[in-house]
Amino acid sequence: MIQNVSIDHHTISGFGGFTEETVFIMPNKGATLLLGINGAGKTTVLNSIYYSLSNLISGFVPLRPKEIGISQSAVSIKRDKAEVFTYLSINDEIPANEIGYRLLKNGQVQIIGKDSNRIRKEFKDLFMDGILPLFRYFQSQKTIDNSTVTSIIYNKIEDRNTGYNQHYSKSILIQEVTSFLINQINIENQEKVDKNDFSVETPIGIYVRRTLRDFSSALYDGIVDVKVGESKYSTGQSIILTKNNKSFEFLQLSSGEQYVFSIVLELIFRIVTLNPNNPDFRATPGIVLIDEIEDHLHPKWQLTIIGALEMCFPNIQFIISTHSPLIASSVRNSNILPLSDFKVIPIEEIPNVYSGTADELLEKVLLSDVQISNFSTEKDEIYKLINLLKFDEAEKVLDELKTELGAYPQWIIDLEQRISFGKV
């Protein structure tokens, strides 16, 4: 029985821009953050991990390497082949299990790794009877697909395989997922009526509500209830969230709210579908890859998103790529794998980024212009208002700039002090 599964370390050789063998050692606890500017190799690492994990479930889910961009072009032009090894720890086994694959220039894929065949068989046996781990890869340029999926209405869970369907998909199929969750809550409501007992709760209903409440409380105060009701904006029912004593349908939320809740809803959907009879859904093991998690996220949420995911899915290993200094400042150095030009930067060579300011991270880790010159127009406007003694107007512009920037570099602090002195 699989109680936990995680990647201990991962090696790449000749894959994409990684022309030489590169080793990625994952932290013992918490999310792994692949940090670097665009083009550093973050997505290549996630792609290589994804395909390695896909081989584990290839017995009942077809491999589609081209759909995640893994093709002949993934083999370095300087090498005849690309090799990827993933060292998988199952139930804290030591040493970790070696699985992997080899890509040849002719497009052929070979399964390699001394433990690959054994682990593939064990996973296939689990599909018949056992706890299935969750695997999901949320790629960059993610979209929320709100198209109606009328043919997929789950009154009961009949096929555990559904939990692995489209685990490579770029889109978050929110309509499919919400249809499933709505039906589960409706099943619970029907049981209340049948038993004439409104305290009745089903295990799935309890898990859905608890997870959504815990996740929302980690991001902001206000959501106190999750329920199902008739939609005012479309045919059928909708998940309704209570925020600041007001009720909102899912599609009324901001794009950032929709994005993060869609990820959580889909993970819930896959967890309860893979193991519908699991007595403890929160204990579901698995590995989730997320590319550029900062997409659509407000700066405040960038500081809390990783902690929120870890709290709601404590037995899932998250491997996340980002070039956001705010997200980087939310984890400890031991959880960061910094990349530059398809090479791993030794952790000793970067500053302690935990709780660091955004401008420090931009300068020392992501090598961006710490002055953030794109805001020179706004800065000039603030100086002009200060010189005209219009301190309230200057303060308003500065507040808007702080919200957009999501950081407090020294020049922001200097402007705040000048405005404060002027208003005295």
Q: What is the pLDDT of residue 122?
A: 81
Which tokens go with 390?
């219009």
Q: Does the residue 187 lie in any domain?
A: no
pLDDT in tens, 264-313: 988 998 899 888 888 899 999 999 999 988 877 777 888 899 999 999 99
Tell me: pLDDT of 243 over 50: yes
Q: Say if residue 131 is in the same domain as residue 44.
A: yes
Q: What is the pLDDT of residue 332?
A: 86
Structural domain of residue 404, as residue ranges?
373-423
User: Quick one: average pLDDT of 216-236?
Assistant: 76
Distance between CA atoms of residues 351 and 365, nearest Å:
8
Q: Does the residue 406 lie in any domain?
A: yes
- Dihedral, 243, 245, 246, 248 alpha carbons, nearest 10: 30
Q: Say if residue 387 is in the same domain as residue 346.
A: no
pLDDT in tens, 360-408: 555 555 644 444 445 667 788 888 888 888 899 999 988 887 776 555 5
Q: Residue 290: which H helix or E strand, with range?
A: strand 286-290
Q: Is residue 70 very low, low, confident or very high in pLDDT (cuts 50, 70, 90)? A: low
Tell me: pLDDT of 145 over 50: no
Q: What is the pLDDT of residue 141?
A: 55
Q: Residue 421: which H helix or E strand, with range?
A: helix 410-423
Tell me: pLDDT of 100 over 80: yes
Q: Say if residue 286 is in the same domain as residue 408.
A: no
Closest CA to 277 of 161, 157, 162, 185: 157
Q: Say if residue 11 is in the same domain as residue 136.
A: yes
Q: Does the residue 27 lie in any domain?
A: yes
pLDDT in tens, 1-33: 778 899 999 999 988 889 889 999 998 889 999
Mean pLDDT of the chain: 78
Q: What is the pLDDT of residue 62?
A: 46
Output the CA–CA distances (angstroms, integers) from residue 27 to 50, 182, 323, 387, in the order listed: 18, 37, 19, 52
User: Quick one: average pLDDT of 140-158?
Assistant: 38
Q: What is the DSSP letter of 15?
A: B
Q: What is the pLDDT of residue 155?
A: 30
Domains identified in the chain, total number: 2
List beta partners, residue 35: 322, 338
95 cis-preceded (ω within 30 degrees of 0): yes
User: Quick one: average pLDDT of 253-271?
Assistant: 85
Last residue of a domain, one of 302, 328, 356: 356
Q: Say if residue 350 is in the same domain as residue 386.
A: no
Which tokens go with 210?
């608890």
% residues pLDDT > 70 (the chain):
76
Residue 249 exposed, middle or buried by CB count within 10 Å (0-12, 13-18, 19+): middle
Is this structure's pTM higher than 0.85? Answer: no
Q: What is the pLDDT of residue 290?
A: 92
Write the DSSP string, 224-287.
Answer: -EEEEEE-SSSSSEEEEEEETTEEEEGGGS-HHHHHHHHHHHHHHHHHHHH-TT-S-GGG--EE
User: Quick one: average pLDDT of 227-239?
Assistant: 79
- Dihedral, 230, 233, 234, 235 alpha carbons, nearest 10: 40
Q: Say if residue 51 is in the same domain as residue 132.
A: yes
Q: Does the residue 93 lie in any domain?
A: yes
Distance between CA atoms of residues 22 and 337, nearest Å:
12
Which residue has better confidence, 20 or 72? 20
How many other C-beta atoms can be found within 10 angstroms of the C-beta atom of residue 246?
9
Q: Does the residue 265 lie in any domain?
A: no
